[in-house]
Amino acid sequence: MTQPPRTPSRFSYEATIVIRAALCALPATVIAVALLIHSDANWELWVTCLTLILLPFPFMAWSLQNWISSPLRVAANVISSIREGDFTLRSRRISEASGTIVELYEEINAIAALMEKSRLTSIETQKVIDKITANIDVATLIVRSDRVVSQANEAARRLISSINHWDSIPELKTVDELNISFVLDQSSQDFSRFSFVDQNRRFEGRRGIFILDGERFDLILLTDITRAASEQERDSWKRLLRVLGHELNNSIAPISSLSSTLSKITKTAEIDEETKTDLLDGLETITNRSQNIIRFMGDYTRLAKLPEPETVSVALSPLFQKACQLFGETVHFAPSSSNPTVSIDPAQFEQALINLLKNATEASSGAPGSVTCSIEAIAGISLLRIEDDGPGISNPDNLFVPFYTTKAQGSGIGLALSKQIIEAVGGTLTLANRQDRSGCRVTIQLGIAPQAKAQ
């Protein structure tokens, strides 16, 4: 409940002290006057007594007022200096006082010392931050609520000059005048990521907000990832070409060799049964190898042209349990009270689960319950685990390399396709050897959809 404002007193604090001192002396004065009246004293005695009573009063009142007000005035001066940002002023009259006023001085001095230490720490921290910001190769901008760039480091100034084809580093203006308004077109929640391309250069950005002295600011971080992206793209092409070359050579070399052999056979005048059998075997091998190439290119097309996920909110536990049931008693689904709702493409995600469960069952001993599946929801994250009792992972570096496989009849796209499906809906897929025993543990992590209705 809001209290009504207090009406200010008609008298100052010092005047109130004098008035109260006078009121304290009033009873003694009244008694002295009464005694003089009853004693029939002459006027000289009256003057003498009243002079002795009243003459010291102004000095005593002034002394009392000064004695009470002076310590408070010192405390007020120290507090005033703190309010104005000067934390060096201290009360030096502690040794002259005692009692409660000393406690007041000590507390005020302690507050001033604490705030001075805090200010020095803040200044030192700001200097460190400014030095780091000035020397890092990340464009850093601070934008006010009126879209004016209030601060920008050297990297940001160079970037702005590059975007606008300016020869000199510009003065700070609004983001619209600097042609970088796109940095404010992004979501500002929890340092959202964004990216853009300028003159064949790739940049990754982050934007967040902070409040300083009641004013809203945007913090923009821009990183040139051109070189890193190019190296990653080049490495991806190298891996792809290596895989393509390996697969095509494995099929084309036998086809070429067999074609040459069959050509020589057909040039002979007589073809006996044994030669005919060799001829048919060679043609069958060519057919098989050709089909392998066709299947390989089909798998590659399937991996490269995976459609965008059509996400809906789905209750995860029934979907996971349904996929586990396809593999019979080999897969055991551990019941759980957790049934998180996630935003996924049900058809694609189910296919990813089937791929992972198929790998687990093929690696396991095949005994009932040799593959265990569980689901758990922790702090807004859902975790799906698939554990088998097989030999584990022997070559973790090539787990997600497309077309890499250790199986005789494997295509090598199952894990790569599953990873692509899961990451397309914002999840992660990790595989690791189990610590408690031999075998592999597959972990799928997905964010739980907030306030979503399950399909």
Q: What is the pTM of this model?
A: 0.42
Check residue 1 and give its pLDDT. 44
Rounded percentage of the chain residues whose pLDDT exceeds 70: 64
Instruction: Tell me the pLDDT band of 386, cut-offs 50, 70 and 90.
Output: very high
Strands 371-378 and 331-333, bridge-based pairing:
parallel
pLDDT per position as a tens digit, 47-91: 777 777 767 777 777 777 777 777 777 778 888 887 887 777 777
The total number of residues written for the chain in this structure: 455
Name the most confidently modeled range: 227-236, 270-279, 329-338.
329-338
In angstroms, the CA 315 to CA 428 distance is 18
Question: Mind listing the pLDDT tens digit for each residue in 413-425?
Answer: 678 788 888 888 8
Residue scoring higher pLDDT (211 or 302): 211
Is 309:425 a contact under the CB 8 Å cutoff?
yes
Extents of the domains making up the chain: 13-119, 136-224, 229-304, 312-447
The upper half-sphere exposure of residue 44, i.e. CA atoms within 13 Å in the direction of its Cβ, equals 0
pLDDT over 70 at 173, yes or no: yes
Distinct helix (H) and strand (E) counts, the chain: 10, 12
Mean pLDDT across the chain: 74
Other Cβ atoms within 10 Å of 262 Cβ, number: 18
CA atoms within 13 A on the CB side of 135: 6
Measured CA to CA, the distance from residue 46 to residue 389 in angstroms comes to 117
What would the CATH number be for the domain defined by 312-447? 3.30.565.10
Given a cut of 50, is residue 452 above it in pLDDT? Answer: no
373 against 170, higher pLDDT: 373
Give me the residues paired with residue 333 across strands: 373
Segment 12-51, tens digit of pLDDT: 666 776 677 777 777 777 777 777 677 776 777 777 777 7
* Helices assigned H by DSSP within 345-428: 346-363, 414-424
pLDDT of 385 reads: 92
Instruction: Name the residue among 322, 352, 357 with its Cα closest to residue 446.
Output: 352
Tens of pLDDT, residue by residue over 125-147, are 778 877 777 777 788 888 888 88
Pair 368, 376: CB distance under 8 Å: no
Mean local confidence (pLDDT), 371-389:
88
453 vs 404, higher pLDDT: 404
Residue range 261-317, pLDDT digits in tens: 666 666 665 666 776 677 677 777 767 666 666 666 665 565 556 678 888 999 999
Residue showing tokens 């399937």: 302
More confident residue, 91 or 353: 353
pLDDT (tens digit per residue) in 176-206: 777 777 777 765 554 555 555 555 567 777 7
**Residues 136-224, CATH architecture:** 2-Layer Sandwich (3.30)
Is pLDDT at 372 greater than 70 in this prediction?
Answer: yes
387 pLDDT band (50/70/90 cuts)? very high
Rg (CA), the chain: 43
DSSP designation for 174: B
pLDDT above 60 for 411 = no
Angle between helical axes of 273-304 and 414-424 (0-180°, round to 10): 10
